[in-house]
């Protein structure tokens, strides 16, 4: 399991290869934000080459680099200027192949669009384990296991307002249109409790 890159009481950050996200527990993700590179657009400085596919037990012997044409990283703001003037093009390696079928190179600089799509699918497969998506919401799974399928236009409300408290007794199915009202009521009740605690201390 990878060690956290950063961690405090509320946040844990991991820095690693998106093709393997085994350190994340099932049902622990509710949102995924990505920014994959455009195919063949540019070579990002400082990004190491990766090995994709092939035989993991092979002692890879790489063939000659495939030379392609792309834009320099220094010109990455070109697309935001809207000038219509093409950025500087530079020769760049599009990786190399091993006889076992492995490819060594930078994601986004594959020699063919088909290989780029294959690698993109592999990256997103890292969000799945045993064919099941990692970002199924855990509180919904727990409620449905006890009560059956969640009715249409309903969602699961955390009664005490603590989103990670997924005990069955803390989960209540309510109409979606009522959720915002319930949330405001919960916040108001929490503030009342805080004021009562402050008054008791005095």
The pLDDT tens digits for 162-185 are: 778 889 988 988 887 776 666 666
Question: Which range has the worst mean pLDDT, 55-59, 67-71, 101-105, 157-161?
Answer: 67-71
* 107 and 145 fall within a common domain: no
Q: Which two tokens stand for residue 192?
A: 């009342």
Enclosing domain of residue 190:
137-201
Residue 18: pLDDT band by 50, 70, 90 thresholds?
confident
Residues 65 and 116 reside in one and the same domain: yes
**Residue 139 and residue 170 in contact, taking contact as beta carbons nearer than 8 Å:** no
Q: Do residues 122 and 43 share a domain? A: yes
Number of domains observed in the structure of the chain: 2
Q: Is residue 8 part of a domain?
A: no
Is 100 in the same domain as 152? Answer: no
- Model's pTM, two decimal places? 0.52
Mean pLDDT rounded to a whole number for the chain: 76
The whole-angstrom separation of Cα 105 and Cα 94 is: 6
167 or 56: which carries more pLDDT confidence? Answer: 167
Residues 51, 115 share a domain: yes
> Which of these ranges, 72-81, 93-102, 120-129, has the smallest mean pLDDT?
72-81
**E-assigned strand segments in 18-88:** 42-43, 50-52, 67-72
Rounded CA-CA distance 138/26 in Å is: 8
Place of tokens 């509180």: 139
What's the pLDDT score for residue 129? 45
CA distance 57 to 72: 35
Q: Are residues 100 and 121 in the same domain?
A: yes
* pLDDT at position 107 over 80: yes
Q: Is the dihedral of CA 82, 87, 92, 94 positive or negative?
A: positive
Q: Which of 82, 109, 127 is the last residue of a domain?
A: 127
Going by C-alpha positions, the residue among 121, 113, 78, 81 that lies closest to residue 94 is: 113
């Amino acid at each position: 399991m990878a060690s956290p890159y950063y961690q405090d009481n509320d946040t844990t950050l991991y820095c690693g290869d998106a093709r393997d996200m085994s350190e994340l527990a099932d049902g622990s993700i509710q949102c995924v934000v990505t920014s994959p590179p455009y195919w063949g657009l540019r070579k990002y400085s400082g990004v190491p080459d990766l090995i994709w596919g092939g035989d993991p037990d092979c002692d890879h012997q790489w063939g000659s680099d495939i030379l392609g044409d792309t834009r320099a990283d220094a010109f990455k703001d070109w697309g935001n200027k809207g000038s219509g003037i093409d950025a500087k093009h530079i020769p760049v390696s599009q990786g190399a192949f091993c006889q076992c079928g492995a490819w060594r190179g930078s994601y986004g600089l594959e020699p063919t669009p088909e290989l780029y799509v294959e690698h993109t699918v592999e990256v997103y497969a890292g969000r799945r384990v045993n064919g099941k998506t990692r970002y199924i919401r855990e509180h919904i799974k727990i409620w449905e296991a006890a009560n059956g399928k969640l009715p249409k236009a309903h969602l699961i409300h955390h009664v005490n307002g603590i989103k990670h408290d997924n005990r069955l007794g803390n989960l209540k199915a309510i109409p979606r249109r009522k959720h915002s009202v319930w949330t405001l009521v919960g916040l108001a009740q929490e503030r009342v409790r805080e004021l009562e605690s402050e008054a008791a201390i005095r």
